[in-house]
Amino acid sequence: MRAAAFFEPGPPEVLQVVELPDPHPGPDEVRVRVRAAGVQPADVAVRSSGAAPPGTTVAYPQIPGNEFAGVVDEVGSAVTGIVPGDAVLGFRTLGCAAELVTAPAAQVVHKPAEVPWAVAGALSASGQTAHTALQALEVGEGDTVLIHAAAGGVGTVAVQLARLWGATVIGTASERNHAYLRSLGAIPVAYGPGLVERVREVAPQGVSAALDAIGGDALHASLELVKDPERIGTLVDFELADRLGVRKLRTDRRAGRLQELVDLVARGALRITISGEHPLAGAADAHRAVERRHGRGKIVIVPTADDA
């Protein structure tokens, strides 16, 4: 199979297309021919630092990628309910930016026909992170929640889930993304000096919870706006979270959570924005786009695009 991989940590240019032995599933696994694989800030962090996510190790050549969608072409001997030919989406830690990926069958769900491949490949990581974080902060009916980086992958999902769960949402973003946030149901406010005052102007009733995907000043502003530090959480700035006494949030990925998100997308209640699709040979460009952190929604790698 072909994959986008790196042999040493570094800038996006270290990613290259390589040929590797085809993987085969273990007894409880399936093998998927990948149609789309999302690109995450976590992928960028692994590639740039060489540091593995908790519980894993980096093994060169290392294939990045933590989510995928595609068609099952092999199943392990103990797998039930999934057969070759099934369209699925799922997750694993690293290894997804490739033509083939294996994953535990317990981390895979069926893809409805009405969900496009790129959307399916981009749903799991950001979607489950947003869902986990909002649940941890107990966001629900009557809340006013502040979401930092609201136009990004996690933010796009978090805005919509919070609205579906009955909250008023204020989202921080650059001016060019304000119309986009309004289309998702959020009240947009600009980054930068005066943020606290701008939020108070649009939310005179106060802010009850805050979800941060930026760190730094955004966390300081959240602490000024939200009374209960247990309802302030960051996905990125854990060192500052410790100093400020707010929550460090990590994703809790599982098939049931992913299935809930898939069902929302399939019935049109959750929108996943795809801002770019790149072939394996364009993996470096995909990582650059994520590093810039100015895009809307998600970037995906489409292995089959090289052959189109």
pLDDT digits (tens, 9 = 90+) for 92-116: 999 999 999 999 999 999 999 999 9
pLDDT above 80 for 294 = no
pLDDT above 80 for 171 = yes
With cut-offs at 50, 70 and 90, classify the pLDDT of residue 231.
very high
Taking a C-beta distance cutoff of 8 angstroms, is the pair 123, 255 a contact? no
pTM for the full predicted model: 0.96
Q: Which CATH superfamily is domain 2-124+253-307 in?
A: Medium-chain alcohol dehydrogenases, catalytic domain (3.90.180.10)
Looking at the chain, the domain(s) classified CATH 3.90.180.10 span: 2-124+253-307
Backbone angles phi, psi at 249, to 5 degrees: -110, 135
Q: Which CATH superfamily is domain 138-248 in?
A: NAD(P)-binding Rossmann-like Domain (3.40.50.720)
Quote the pLDDT of residue 308: 44
Looking at the chain, the domain(s) classified CATH 3.40.50.720 span: 138-248
Mean pLDDT on 183-211: 97
